[in-house]
Amino acid sequence: MIKKCLFPVAGYGTRFLPATKSMPKEMLPIVNKPLVQYGVEEAIAAGMTTCAMVTGRGKRAIADHFDISFELEHQISGTGKEVYLESIREVLDRGVFTMVRQREMKGLGHAILTGEVLIGHEPFGVVLSDDLCLNEGPGVLSQMAELYRQFRCSIVAIQEVPMEDVHKYGVIAGESLKDGIYRVDEMVEKPDASVAPSNLAIIGRYILTPDIFDILRETPPGANGEVQLTDALQTQARQGCVMAYRFKGRRFDCGSVPGFVEATNFVYENHYSRS
Ligand code: G1P
């Protein structure tokens, strides 16, 4: 029912310099697959086959990745190496890719608003590809799309984090409805541990209803002087309803070097086919 997923992929990747000097951070591989492709596969598996990318300068490798490489197809076709192209061929068969450029970096909220032209007036998913989420069963976006059918409002993915880490995240508080599902009544972006309403941190998976765009237009810059999606969601929670969902699966913070290395080891041990 939700057909589109937005990928804000315009960020600089400063923590991975110099690797990210001329290469988008979303193209860094976890073993043999770029980070962004994991997110795209998760979205497509959830039925969100239109992948809308909010890109920026220096991100052309992402657009090229989700297109045919004619020379490569020509060279490899009919050889034993075709197996290496299988996953990206499947993505290209099933997905449609649309792009818009974010010209100025004014925060996640601004990136989402820049994607409005690609989304239109319908509910949509959001993947922050720095957060790699893996699950044996249905992926996190599939789990959230299922919940959307029930609640018909915006949903954020959450995870418990140590209190000393809450300042890195958007943090929610709310009424627990049933196992792992909360109705949000408070949301704060990157709070100090001393004022954080809980240790339930927002992870980079969202389902958003399109009224978020009008709210974002009216949302002033918040933490770090940036337009924060968390602030807009707080308004949406006050005006109507936002749910938070403690998802099933593992999440790796691939925006940090230790998380990236942990994900690499995990994927190599558990998902990489050595054949
Ligand atoms: C963004 C969001 C934050 C969320 C985090 C998840 O922050 O603003 O609310 O908790 O992603 O990764 P960023 O990591 O871009 O600073």
Per-residue pLDDT tens for 243-252? 999 999 999 9
Which position has the token pair 């090229």? 64
Residue to mutate, 14, 202, 206, ligand 1, most ligand atoms under 8 Å from C-beta: 202
For the chain, what is the domain count? 1
Helix 86-94 / helix 35-45 crossing angle, nearest 10 deg: 50
Residue 174, H or E segment? strand 170-178
Pocket flag, ligand 1, residue 204 (CB < 6 Å): yes
The DSSP letter of residue 215 is: H
**What's the average model confidence in pLDDT over 129-155?**
97
Ligand 1 touching residue 108 (CB < 6 A):
yes
Instruction: Average the pLDDT over each of 29-33, 40-44, 48-52, 75-79 and give the range with the smallest value.
Output: 75-79
Please give the residue range of the domain that contains residue 147. 4-274
Residue 275's pLDDT band (cuts 50, 70, 90): low
Distance 170 CA to ligand 1 centre (A): 6
- The CATH number that applies at residue 53 is 3.90.550.10
Taking the centre of ligand 1 as the mean of its atom positions, its distance from the CA of residue 171, in whole angstroms, is 10
Ligand 1 proximity of 169 Cβ (cutoff 6 Å) = yes
Does ligand 1 come within 6 angstroms of the Cβ of 231? no
Contact 234, 158 (CB under 8 A): no
